[in-house]
Amino acid sequence: MTSPIDVGILGATGVVGQQLASLLDGHPWFRLSWVAASERSAGRRYGDLPWRLPGLVPATAARLTVSPLDPDNAPVILFSALDAGVAGEAETAFARSGRIVVSNARNHRLDPLVPLVIPEVNAGHLSLLDAQRRERGWSGAIVTNPNCSTVFVAMVLAALDGFQPSRALVTTLQAVSGAGHPGVSALDILGNVIPFIPGEEEKIERETRKILGRLDNGGVADAAMVLSAQTTRVAVHDGHTALMSIALDRTPSIEEVADALARFRGDAEVSALPSAPAAPIVVATGHDRPQPRLDAWTSGGMAVTCGRLRRCPVLGYKLVALGHNAIRGAAGAALLNAELLVSRERRLRATQAEAVAWPAEARAMDPLPGTLSPV
C-alpha cells in the first residue's frame, strides 16, 4: 500500500479497546486516527485517560481526542470494543452510515446475515456481506469475531475436521482479564474458582456451531455436532484454558491428531496477513503444558497452544487448549478479520474495474488509497 488506511475504535477506553490501540501502533496497513467512547470520555485527550495495559499509551493514540459515538467524521473501517449494552444500536448506526464495523461485541454474532469469522476456519463466510447489505439496506457492514473461548475451541475442532468430530465436552478455566475492568472482586476470585460466567456456555455452544457451519442458500447452516460447555473463572491474569474431550467418527491415532493440529493452516491469503501467526495451533510436547503463564503469549498471543493429547475413555480423545483471551480471543481476532477484509478488497480492485464487495460510500471515502496489487 502507498499509505496506511485510517481506522477508528469504538469503545476505545475499555480493556479490549486499549489492546486494539496497542496492536494498531506501527501496523503496516492501518493507522489509528479516531477513537470514540461514552459521553464520560468524549472530548478528553485519549492519553489523559486511565491506561490499563503494561507500558505507556502509544504516542499516536495518546494525541487523539475522544469523539462521541457518532458516525460523523469517523473513518470507514472501525473496530468495535463496545459493551454489549450499547453495541447493538451503535454498530447498526455506523454500518447504516457506510462504515465497515469489525466487532468484538456479542450483539450481532448470531445474526444470520452477519459473518462470525475466524479467518483460518471460515473466511468464506464473508460472502454473507452481500445479502446483509441487500436485505438490511446498509451501505456499510458488520463483521464479528467470536467469544474469546469460542475462538480456541472452534480452531481445535476445525483442525480435526478431517476426522469428523461429532461431539465435544468443554470445560473452560477463564482468566480474570476476560471480565474487563474492574472485573472480578479480589475477595471473590483469590483462592477460589467461580463456576459461572453469564452467557459464556451458550456462546461457546452456539457460536462454534455457526463458525463450523456451511454456507447454504445465502446463510449459514450450523454444524450438526453436539457441544456441551461448562465455564469457570479462575485466578489467572491472562489466558483461557479449555479442557476438551472430543468424539471423532473416524479413529485416528494420537499421533495423527497431533499432526493434524500442528499442520492446521488457513489458506495462502490468510497466512499472508500481517497479524496471522505462522502456525495458528502449536502443539506442546511437555506433559505439563500448556500453562497460561508460559504459553499465553505464544506467537504474540495469536496462536493457540494444545497439549496433553491422550485417549478419553468416554469420547475417545482429550486435550488441553490455551489461548490469550485479550489478543487472539478479542482484539487480535478483530484485527485479523479487518486485515482479511482489506486483503480481499485489494484483490478485487486488482482484478475488476469496480470492487463489488466494498460499499459505494466506502469507495467514495477511498479507504484503500493508491494502486493496489494482489496479495
What per-residue string of b and e applies to 82-97 under the rule 16 or more CB within 10 Å gives b?
Answer: beeebbbebbbebbeb
Length of the chain: 375
Spatial contact of 119 and 276, defined as CB atoms under 8 Å apart: yes
Is 324 catalytic? The answer is no
Residue the block writes with cell 506501527: 26
Identified catalytic residue from 125, 148, 306, 324:
148
Is 148 catalytic? The answer is yes
Spatial contact of 328 and 152, defined as CB atoms under 8 Å apart: yes
Identified catalytic residue from 240, 306, 312, 324:
240
Residue 60, Cβ neighbours under 10 Å: how many?
16
Residue 2, Cβ neighbours under 10 Å: how many?
8
The residues annotated as belonging to the active site are 148, 240
